[in-house]
Chain A
Amino acid sequence: MADRSGFDDFVRARGPALARTAYLLTGDHHLAEDLVQAALVEAARRWERIETSPEAYVRRSMYHQNISWWRRRRLVESPLGAYDEPVAAHDPTLRLTLEQALRRLTSRQRTVLVLRYFEDLTEVQTAEALGISSGAVKSMARQALRRLRVLAPELADLVEADA
């Protein structure tokens, strides 16, 4: 059904799930909304040519957009002086600590982490989705987990085994 109602149905049905992933990818509510909208515009533009799953198309578009946005933004991101300083331990809950620590990862590291541990993709599938080698995925995932441990030692239980 290559028309508006099919697209609307898709957005209504899968939008909240896409928004959740976008939030994990960006760590920012506004950026997450922008990311999902941009990916949906792209999907609407090519709706008739999406042969299998619209969701897979939109998700793939989000991963690539997020990394390319990060490339444009990175010059104004926080200075490296604070790169590996532990997150202030004033947050009482593990979840808030995780949220803060995720924001301190690079966009590529966060994207790999979300794909591997939230979307449950294998290394090969993650590599395919991002257009990089599976060796790079493995190395980035290891670096991301290691940084999470450094940034927030209280997350050690969560990120220990694979790091």
Chain B
Amino acid sequence: MTARLREELSALAETHPFSPDPSAWDRGRRARRRDHALRGAAVLAVVALVVGLGTLLAPDREARTASTDVVEGGAIPSRIVDIDGGLEATTDLAVGRASAAFISASQDDPVVITAMDGVPHRLALPGWGTGNQGLSLSPDGTRLAWHDQDSGQATIAVLELMTGGITRHQVHPDGDLALRELSWSPDSVWLAWLGDTEGGAYVGRLRPVFAVLDDNWFVRGNVPGVAVRSDAGLVFSRASGGLFSFDDRGRPAQLSDADQVGAGAFSPDGAMLALRTSPGTASRTFRWAGRTIVEHPFPDATFDRGAVIPLGWLDVRHQLLQVWSDEDSPAELVVATPEVGETSTWRRSVGSIDASIAGRVSLAVDLVPDLDGTSWQQLTHDFGERTEDERDFSWIIGLGVAAAIAVLLGLRRLWRRLRP
């Protein structure tokens, strides 16, 4: 009954489309300022002076964009390229909401691109090891999951990109389990995982915010992909063919016998599952109702053949796909409906991913704007070229001014105390 009650509660909750107002920040900060006005002024003065001086003296080698381009709310970059060795890894993991994450092909390190400014950050994630394949950014761009190899047990770590906080979840006692695949639900709540072991694989799911570890199941054979719906339903694919879920007893139940496909990304309503495909002439999607596979052939004069990796869904109709037609050329981002119809969409030139990292990228699809129906709408953003070592002094000047004001406030208070 739990599943049905959950379904009904979820459907009921969906009837409330309210989006909170970020102005809560101002109210919260006013309250905070009232609490700490005088003490804060003194602390700020000291901290600002120390930090300002320290920053002026210390080198800053993090890459920044040449333009001061900032996109309100954030956007996915129109070109996603690998980093080079000049970009130093940062241990300050509170980089903010990200638009993309990938494993660098040249450095073998995790990289996120921040959503507001398009700047890449090479992250020194604790527990990240050589050859690690498990890295996944949530569709809302706020969480990054990876295989933490430090503990010696199968552990998934989840980083909150806004605060830098990390939670760790031991998903299986088998230390040799190679956590290869991590996949978020469309609402960024559930995380499906897949770990290879002798003779098969374990698949499971967890809910990082509440540290809810759900069951995991052993599956025989080669399991290349796993996906999870917003209501926690889990689907996996086998290399020998077929899509499967689990029955009430935890046994694999076949949904489709399609071959050359893998579990990709669920639509927000869970009705469709976009599929990974080997090089072919169409994108393919599993439709839950009727348990059928539908296809959207590549239009004429686009791709002759291409491998498709779903990166997520923009809404219940449109999926964001990575189509890779040639191993030496960049992969293209394509927005498409699952099949051809009177109102179908198939749009290329949305963006590109360098060939070296194609297949290693996860995107915050929630950052793609709602489609307005025009063919010229920009779905990604050109942040300009990166340059190294371009120092931004504006915040230091701001801190200096704040420090001066704080010192003046302190002197005024002192003068009031001392005057007769």
A binds B: yes
Which residues on B sit within 8 Å (CB–CB) of A37?
Answer: 20-21, 24
Q: How far, in Å, is B229 (CB) from chain A's closest CB?
A: 13
> Do A53 and B160 touch across chains, with their CB atoms under 8 A apart?
yes
> Do B18 and A13 touch across chains, with their CB atoms under 8 A apart?
no
Residue from B12, B73, B164, B232 having most chain A Cβ neighbours under 10 A: B12
Residue from A13, A14, A43, A52 having most chain B Cβ neighbours under 10 A: A13
Which residues on B sit within 8 Å (CB–CB) of A7?
Answer: 22, 25, 162
Q: How far, in Å, is A125 (CB) from chain B's closest CB?
A: 6
Q: Taking CB as reference atom, which chain B residue is nearest A160?
A: B1
Q: Taking CB as reference atom, which chain B residue is nearest A97?
A: B8
- A33 and B24 in contact (CB under 8 A), knowing A1-B94, A117-B5, A125-B210? no
Task: Verify if B391 is at the interface (C-beta below 8 Å from A).
Answer: no
A10 to B115, CA, bound (A): 12
> Do B115 and A9 touch across chains, with their CB atoms under 8 A apart?
yes
Task: Verify if A21 is at the interface (C-beta below 8 Å from B).
Answer: yes
Q: Taking CB as reference atom, which chain B residue is nearest A35?
A: B20
Which residues on B sit within 8 Å (CB–CB) of A23?
Answer: 12-13, 15-16, 18
Task: Verify if A16 is at the interface (C-beta below 8 Å from B).
Answer: yes
A52 to B162, CA, bound (A): 9
> Do B27 and A98 touch across chains, with their CB atoms under 8 A apart?
no
A99 to B8, CA, bound (A): 10
B157-176 CB contacts (< 8 Å) to partner A: 160-167
Task: Verify if A119 is at the interface (C-beta below 8 Å from B).
Answer: yes
Which one of A20, A44, A53, A160 lies within 8 Å of B167 (CB-CB)?
Answer: A53
> Do A5 and B28 touch across chains, with their CB atoms under 8 A apart?
no
Which residues on A sit within 8 Å (CB–CB) of B95?
Answer: 1
- A117 and B19 in contact (CB under 8 A), knowing A56-B209, A158-B1? no
Q: Taking CB as reference atom, which chain B residue is nearest A40?
A: B24
Task: Verify if B356 is at the interface (C-beta below 8 Å from A).
Answer: no
A117 to B4, CA, bound (A): 10
- A53 and B28 in contact (CB under 8 A), knowing A117-B6, A161-B1? no
B3-46 CB contacts (< 8 Å) to partner A: 4-6, 8-22, 24-29, 31-32
A29-48 CB contacts (< 8 Å) to partner B: 29, 32-33, 36-37, 40-47
> Do B9 and A114 touch across chains, with their CB atoms under 8 A apart?
yes
- A52 and B165 in contact (CB under 8 A), knowing A6-B96, A161-B1? yes
Task: Verify if B140 is at the interface (C-beta below 8 Å from A).
Answer: yes
Task: Verify if B223 is at the interface (C-beta below 8 Å from A).
Answer: no
Task: Verify if A162 is at the interface (C-beta below 8 Å from B).
Answer: yes
> Do A52 and B160 touch across chains, with their CB atoms under 8 A apart?
yes
A118-163 CB contacts (< 8 Å) to partner B: 118-122, 125, 157-162
A120 to B6, CA, bound (A): 8
Task: Verify if B191 is at the interface (C-beta below 8 Å from A).
Answer: no
Which one of A29, A47, A59, A125 lies within 8 Å of B28 (CB-CB)?
Answer: A47
Task: Verify if A18 is at the interface (C-beta below 8 Å from B).
Answer: yes
How many residues of B are counted as interface, with CB atoms below 8 angstroms from the partner's CB atoms? 59
- A99 and B12 in contact (CB under 8 A), knowing A1-B162, A9-B74, A159-B1? yes
> Do A1 and B96 touch across chains, with their CB atoms under 8 A apart?
yes
> Do B189 and A17 touch across chains, with their CB atoms under 8 A apart?
yes
B133-155 CB contacts (< 8 Å) to partner A: 140-142
Q: How far, in Å, is B314 (CB) from chain A's closest CB?
A: 15
Residue from B19, B28, B97, B164 having most chain A Cβ neighbours under 10 A: B28
> Do A158 and B8 touch across chains, with their CB atoms under 8 A apart?
yes
Q: Taking CB as reference atom, which chain A residue is nearest B116?
A: A5
Q: Mark A44-62, 1 if CB is under 8 A from B, else 0.
A: 1111001111111001000
Task: Verify if A87 is at the interface (C-beta below 8 Å from B).
Answer: no
> Do A44 and B188 touch across chains, with their CB atoms under 8 A apart?
no
A159 to B9, CA, bound (A): 12
Task: Verify if B207 is at the interface (C-beta below 8 Å from A).
Answer: yes
Q: Taking CB as reference atom, which chain A residue is nearest B18?
A: A19
Which one of B2, B32, B164, B212 lies within 8 Å of A162 (CB-CB)?
Answer: B2
A5 to B140, CA, bound (A): 15
A4 to B1, CA, bound (A): 42
Which one of B9, B13, B116, B163 lies within 8 Å of A51 (CB-CB)?
Answer: B163
Which residues on A sit within 8 Å (CB–CB) of B15?
Answer: 23, 99
A36 to B167, CA, bound (A): 24
Sort A-B residue pairs by CB-CB distance and give the 10 closest, nearest first: A44-B28, A52-B165, A40-B24, A23-B16, A20-B13, A9-B97, A13-B140, A15-B20, A45-B28, A161-B1
Taking Cβ atoms with an 8 Å cutoff, the residues of B that contact A are 1-2, 4-6, 8-22, 24-29, 31-32, 73-74, 94-97, 115-116, 140-142, 160-167, 187-189, 207-212, 214, 232, 366
23 contacts between A and B (CB under 8 A): A1-B94, A4-B25, A6-B97, A8-B73, A9-B96, A9-B97, A9-B141, A11-B21, A12-B22, A17-B187, A41-B27, A44-B28, A45-B29, A45-B31, A52-B166, A53-B209, A102-B12, A117-B5, A120-B210, A121-B210, A125-B212, A158-B5, A158-B8
Taking Cβ atoms with an 8 Å cutoff, the residues of A that contact B are 1-2, 4-24, 29, 32-33, 36-37, 40-47, 50-56, 59, 94-95, 98-99, 102, 114, 117-122, 125, 157-162
Known: A99-B15, A158-B8. 11 other contacts (CB 8 A): A1-B96, A9-B97, A19-B16, A19-B17, A44-B29, A51-B165, A52-B166, A98-B8, A118-B10, A158-B4, A162-B1
